[in-house]
A and B are shown apart, each in its own frame.
Chain A
Amino acid sequence: MSRNVYSSASFRERWAAAWRSFRVATWLGWQIESNWTDPFLFAVYSMVKPLASAAILVVMYGVITNGQFQHPIFPYIYLGNAFYIYVGAVMTGVSWAVIDDREHYRTLKYIYVAPIRIPAYWLGRGVARFLTGSFAVLITLAAGVLFLHVPFHPARVNWPLFLLSLTLGVVMLALMGLVLASISLMIAHHFFLIGEAVAGALYLLSGAIFPLEVLPPWLRPLGFAMPITYWLELIRRSLLGDVARGFPTLSGFTNGQLLGILAGLSVLFGLMAAVAFRLCDRQAREKGLIDQTTNY
């Protein structure tokens, strides 16, 4: 009886710690992300970056296909690229706090000795990047619809499917970010952009800008193992409807099956994140990496 009371109290305590870690980290992340002396410059920068990378893609597409912007593969690519912004933003947002706190602010050890839940803190630090990332996605979509005839009709969008997929996908990306954050604990040096680097490597493996069939056969299984592949497919289907089914890769799966796969892979990444954090946390404490800065 008394044991029960104790464990429920410690359970509540843990959630309280996780919640305040997340909340305060979100506040801090936003302070850092929005730390532009000129808000106007901040807004311009947030717009220019995604638009520039979309423009590069569009020009390349135009050159390669001789300007076939009416072909159904164009919205496929355009949407894949736009939503792929989330991959880099969320994974980097969650994982880069480790190195930022350790190398730049020199606060990682103080955060570590505080009674918080470190993974919840990292997730919170990622929220700001998620928000600026959302802004970038929106801008890119708007540009596509307004200037490039990407077919988008609010009445035809499957909103419930879209919102469900988006949420599930962001959670999945955050969990992948946690895996990278744990790994960052172990790498002492200034590998700031682990999130962007992994995002870049997976760009070609996740069907963002071409179907997996284009990949050499030995690389394809990797694409099928990536939850991002299923997530992008769901996003396209929810926004474009039938257009997306014109592509062979995942056309055999129903929406429900895709959601199931995405949820399953997310759970898997959740478990991986938990295991990775435990292992890396222990290793970092054994090797004394928590406050080791590059110029040690």
Chain B
Amino acid sequence: MSADLAIETHHLGRIYTIRNRRERRIRKEIVALQDVNLEVPRGELFGLLGPNGAGKTTLIKILTTLLAPTTGWARVAGYDVVREPQKIRPRINMVSGGETSGYGLLTVRENLWMFAQFYGLPSREANRRIEDLLRRIGLADRIHTKSSDLSTGLRQKMNIVRGFLTDPEILFLDEPTLGLDVNAARDVRQFIREWMDAHPDRTVLLTTHYMVEADELCDRVAIISQGRVLACDSPEALKRRLRREALFDIEITAPNGLTAAALEALPGVRKAVLSDADGGALLKLVLAEDSALPGVIGVLTERAVRVRHLTKREPTLEDVFVELVGRPLAEEEGRDEP
């Protein structure tokens, strides 16, 4: 337990129990978090990268004192989340993306002013900050708009400003760009980065299932899947693990019954992922070294699969995720990365 840690978790776990509506004795247990050990020093922009259902929101809820863990413990700003929530709350704030919260009958300024009041911020200071932050995030012209008249994206921006408004020591952002269009998401990322640069002693814990967001924004990233943290390091260091290996993307014609498993059985092939692409398929390979490539090409030729395009590339966090979890991060997600 160190005073320099903004966040510390120790074998943290959470199980949800769902009771059957009719027969209350029938229960189902969902393990949302398991054995999570994290240490986030002050001043860090820490990312939690994982697909839907990985447990990111559950972790944020525990750290923001909204939800009790079922095992282990967590400290935020040095205080225990279960026993000392009153000590933690003045020091933190929280924003969840992908939802429309707020008092629709109040204007943007009134909504924000009200939350600032909860934190004991003097009105004049609150109004100064509101104007400043709204300008930075590109919402200044809507300050007197009723928040019910805002689009979902703008409402989310207002909500993000609410999080920063109280100048929290530790800020929790749960998928802050979820549901935003590409431009708005870029605004938000830039806003977060600039705020961190201006407040180097502040800590941000951000969750995302967008690989680029974690890579671009975060000092360190924990990769989480099915409630477990599989790796935790700087994006650079995570990718460096793969640099010894050779990554190839091969665009091919229809795979003709070829499977990823068959390719992985070849010597030197660490990982193969096949996905559909326009009029054919995309084959992503992680090879122990370049010399394993001819073997793969040989198998393709045997099956009469033609190579349309072949690239060797630098590893991304996506590759790290595939390597750790065995499947791509978010193949079902709709939004294109910028």
Contact = CB atoms under 8 A, between A and B. Distances in A.
A31 B105 CA distance: 8
A112 B92 CA distance: 12
Interface in A60-108: 105-107
Interface stretch (A207-215, A221-229, A265-273, A282-290): A282-290
Interface string B64-97: 1111100000000000000000100110111010
Given A24-B117, A116-B118, A290 B103 contact: no
Contact of A290 (B67, B102, B114): B67
A182 interface: no
A279 to B, nearest CB: 14
Contacts of B119: 114-115
B275 interface: no
Contacts of B93: 113
A28 B66 contact: no
Nearest to A281: B85
Q: Size band of the A side of the interface? A: 20 to 34
Contact of B102 (A23, A107, A116): A107
B100 interface: yes
Contact of B67 (A17, A27, A288): A288
Contact of A27 (B101, B114, B115): B114
Nearest to B93: A113
Contacts of B102: 105-107
B118 A107 contact: no
Contacts of B103: 28, 31-32, 105, 107
B120 interface: yes
Nearest to B104: A105
Contacts of A23: 117
Nearest to B70: A286
B68 A285 contact: yes
B118 A288 contact: no
Nearest to B90: A115
B227 to A, nearest CB: 15
B100 A109 contact: no
Contacts of A35: 105
Contacts of B114: 24, 27-28
Q: Size band of the B side of the interface? A: 20 to 34
B117 A291 contact: no
Interface string A23-49: 110011001100100000000000000
A127 B176 CA distance: 35
B296 to A, nearest CB: 46
A111 interface: yes
B106 interface: yes
Contacts of A32: 103, 105
A197 interface: no
Interface string A3-34: 00000000000001100110110011001100
B101 A107 contact: yes
A176 B218 CA distance: 48
A291 B66 contact: yes
Given A17-B120, A114-B115, A288-B16, 7 more contacts: A28-B114, A106-B100, A107-B101, A107-B103, A113-B92, A116-B118, A282-B68
Interface of A: 16-17, 20-21, 23-24, 27-28, 31-32, 35, 105-107, 109-116, 282, 285-286, 288, 290-291
Q: Which 10 A-B pairs have the closest CB atoms?
A: A106-B101, A115-B90, A114-B118, A24-B117, A115-B89, A286-B68, A35-B105, A288-B67, A285-B68, A290-B66
22 contacts: A17-B120, A20-B120, A21-B118, A24-B114, A24-B117, A31-B103, A31-B110, A32-B103, A105-B101, A105-B104, A106-B99, A106-B101, A107-B102, A109-B96, A110-B94, A110-B101, A111-B118, A115-B86, A285-B66, A286-B67, A286-B68, A288-B61
